[in-house]
Structure 1
Amino acid sequence: MRRILTRAGSVAAVSMLALALGQPAQAAQPAEGDTVSAAARATYFEFTDGTDTFVIKLTDPAKIRQARNILSGADTEHRGVMGTVVKTPASYNKPWTYHLDPNSVQFFGMAMEVCDASIAYVDEHLDEVGGALLPRSTWCPWQSKLTRELPRP
């Protein structure tokens, strides 16, 4: 009887070890309450409006996950990119003289006409953004489509 219990315990231990080793590795995620700088978790994505390309920076883990789901085809409802125009260039978004506030970026399926404009048109008329062009500086190019995730600059 003693030998049977020892063997059963050994089989259980080996099974648990195999199960634990067979699990996929998980990326280290900050525990709730841990602070990780936005720069440390920044992820960059490129989108096109059918003519030009534009780079956005995301720092919110949920938005990063959503962007990856869009690229993988898991999310087919939210293909467009929307956000608040910041009238200064960003090093990761050359040659454009503006960028989107990373905290404002959203993905959409449908949007109002008042926020639609091409990448180049916004750049050419940047002084008008926030007024008659793109009220509240909200930009939602209807033809926008995420194309890829970029390596960190």
Structure 2
Amino acid sequence: MHRTFKAAIGALASVAMIALTSAPAYAVSTAPAKDSAPAYFVMTDYTRNEFVVKLDKPADIEHARELLSGQTTDRPHILGRIKHNTASYNPRWSYHLAPETIGFFDVAIEVCDATIPYVEDYLDEAGGAFLPGNVWCDWSSRLVREVPAPQ
């Protein structure tokens, strides 16, 4: 019985995490501003692999630039929902993050944590028990630089 209770609590925590991460509370709008261009940033994790994310919300772009400049250390890690296909700006990987779902975090629950290459290796399992709801929150993620928009 105790094991069943722990499993139920774990499942509830997973659902809560997905619900809470689907729309970051700090964002004024989840839609990109009509007059702003998206920005592209390289993130890495402890594996030192690089992964490009496309940010299209002005508040997120500003936050990313503040992280890179050292103006802030708040919410340094990246989370979002995985799309199971390659993006033109991130050709090395078979997946990318949907720009409209990307946010930043300080701490997150373990169910969404995985490294960049681990997600690639187990991409066919993402969305089920592995990364429920396709929510990915690499605990060791950090931005390393901004890159130009792809041509």
Query: Do the structures match in fold with TM over 0.5?
Result: yes
Asked if 1:43 corresponds to 2:12, the answer is no
Shift of 1:35: 3.4
| Matched letter for residue 54 of structure 1 | F
Question: 2 CA distance for matches of 1:57 and 1:139?
Answer: 15
Question: 2 CA distance for matches of 1:50 and 1:35?
Answer: 36
Cross-structure match for 2:69? 72
Asked if 1:84 corresponds to 2:81, the answer is yes
Give structure 1 regions of 4+ aligned residues with deviation exceeding 3 angstroms. Answer: none
Indicate which of 24, 41, 55 corresponds to 2:52.
Answer: 55
Question: 2 CA distance for matches of 1:35 and 1:128?
Answer: 36
Question: 2 CA distance for matches of 1:133 and 1:54?
Answer: 20
Q: 3-state DSSP class of the match of 1:93?
A: coil
Whose radius of gyration is greater, 1 or 2?
Answer: 1
TM-score (norm 2): 0.74
Indicate which of 117, 122, 134 corresponds to 1:137.
Answer: 134
Question: 2 CA distance for matches of 1:131 and 1:95?
Answer: 24
Deviations 1:18-37 (A, max 9, x none): xxxxxxxxxxxxxxxx833x
Alignment of 1:95-134 (within 5 A): 95-134=92-131
RMSD: 1.3
Q: 3-state DSSP class of the match of 1:148?
A: strand
| Matched letter for residue 34 of structure 2 | T
Shift of 1:72: 1.0
Taking every aligned residue pair, what percent have the same amino acid on both sides?
48
Shift of 1:73: 1.2
Q: 3-state DSSP class of the match of 1:41?
A: coil
Shift of 1:138: 0.4
Question: 2 CA distance for matches of 1:65 and 1:117?
Answer: 26
Question: 2 CA distance for matches of 1:110 and 1:73?
Answer: 19
Gaps of 5+ in 1: 1-33
Count the aligned residue pairs: 117
